[in-house]
Amino acid sequence: MKDNSPNPANRTEPQPDPVLDTSADSDEHAFEWLKTPVPGGGATPGTGSDPGPATHPQPESRADRKAAEAAVEPSGVESSGQGSEPHFNEPLPTSALQVRPPQEEVERRNAQRESAANAKPLAPRIVQVLLAVFYPLILLVLAVRAVASPLFLWVEYNRPGFPGDGYGFSTDDRMTYGSYAVDYLSNWSGPRYLGELVNRSGEKLFKDGEVSHMADVKLVILSTFGAGALLILLSVVAITYLRRRSTGGARRGLFAGSIVALVVILALGALAVLGWQQFFTEFHRIFFASGSWTFSLQDTLIRLFPGQFWIDAGIVIAALVLLAALVTLILTWPTRRRRGLVSSDRTTPAAIS
C-alpha cells in the first residue's frame, strides 16, 4: 500500500523549524476586535486599526465596573464627545445593593427581628399552665389515697383520745369491719361484698341504705383515682415535653402548681375551721343525693367512722398536701443559679475591670 499523506511515516528527512520571528506582527491586541465601535466613527472590527477614544471595553474587575458606572450620566445617557447618538448602559446587578433604606425602615426591621428572637413559642407555655393546674389535683388525690387505707384506720383506732363505740364495738371489731369497708372502696367487688357481712350475733352488719351509700362512695373514689392516674400520666408527658422544648419550663410549672396547691388547701382549711359541719354537709351535697348519706348513731357506718374520724382525715389530707407543696416549692424556687444568672454575674466584674 502506498502512503499518500503529506508527511509519510517512513519519511526520514528532517522537518523545518517553526518560524519564531515576530518582527512582522502587528501591535493589535488579541481581543481588540471585541471592542464596540462608536457609530459614525472609529474602526471596524477585525481591521486592526485604532478604535478611537469612544470605544467601550468590557470592565474586567469590580473597580472597572464602578468607574464605568460613575462615567454614566444620571439620565442614563453616556456622551461620546463627538456628537454621536446617546448610548444607554443597563445598570449592573449589584447596583441595587448600594441603595440603603431609610433609617426608620432599618429600625423597624431590627425591632421585628429582636421581637421574633425574644418571642417564646405558645405551645410550651400552654403545657406549662396545664402542669400547674394538674399538680395540685394530683397531690390531693394522692393524699386521699393515703387516708383511704387500713394503715390510717389502725392509727386512728389506736391513737389516744379517739372516741370509743358506745354500742359494743371493740377496737379489734372496728379494725376488722372498717377494713372491709375501706377495701370495698378500692376493689372491683359488687355491693354483696358488704351486704352479706354479719356481726357476731348473726345479723347483717350493714343495712341496705348503708350499702347503697358505700356503692356511691366507691364510684366517686374510683373515678377520682382514675382521674388522678390520668393526670399523673399527662404530667409526666408534659414534663418530658417541657424539658426538651423549654429550658426551665417544667420547673416553672411545678413551682406555680405548688403555689396553687398551697392557696387552695389553705382556703379549704379556713372554710373547714370556720364551720366544719357546714363544710362537711356541702361537700356531701356535691357528690351524693340528698338524704342518701345521713344515718343514725346506731348504724354501723357511724360507729366505725364517727365525726372525729373525718376531722382527722381532713387534717391529714391537708397536712400531706401542704408538706408536698412546700417541698416542691423549695426544690423549684427560682434562684439566680436556676435562672442562669450566676455566669453573667461572674463575668460582670471582669467586664467592668
For residue 306, CA distances in Å to 22, 198, 212, 244, 271 come to: 127, 20, 19, 50, 20
Which is more confidently placed, 138 or 289? 138
Which of the residue ranges 44-58, 93-107, 240-254 would you say has the lowest mean pLDDT?
A: 44-58
Q: Which of 73-77, 259-263, 349-353 has the highest mean pLDDT?
A: 259-263
Dump pLDDT digits (tens) for 53-63.
444 555 556 66
Residue reference for cell 402542669: 131
pTM (2 decimals)? 0.64
Which is more confidently placed, 104 or 155? 155
Which of the residue ranges 76-80, 164-168, 169-173, 280-284 would you say has the lowest mean pLDDT?
A: 76-80
Percent of the chain with pLDDT over 90: 52
Between CA 179 and CA 25 the distance in angstroms is: 121
Average pLDDT for 241-254? 90
Which is more confidently placed, 138 or 122? 138
Which is more confidently placed, 336 or 169? 169
What are the E-state strand segments in the chain?
A: 77-78, 87-88
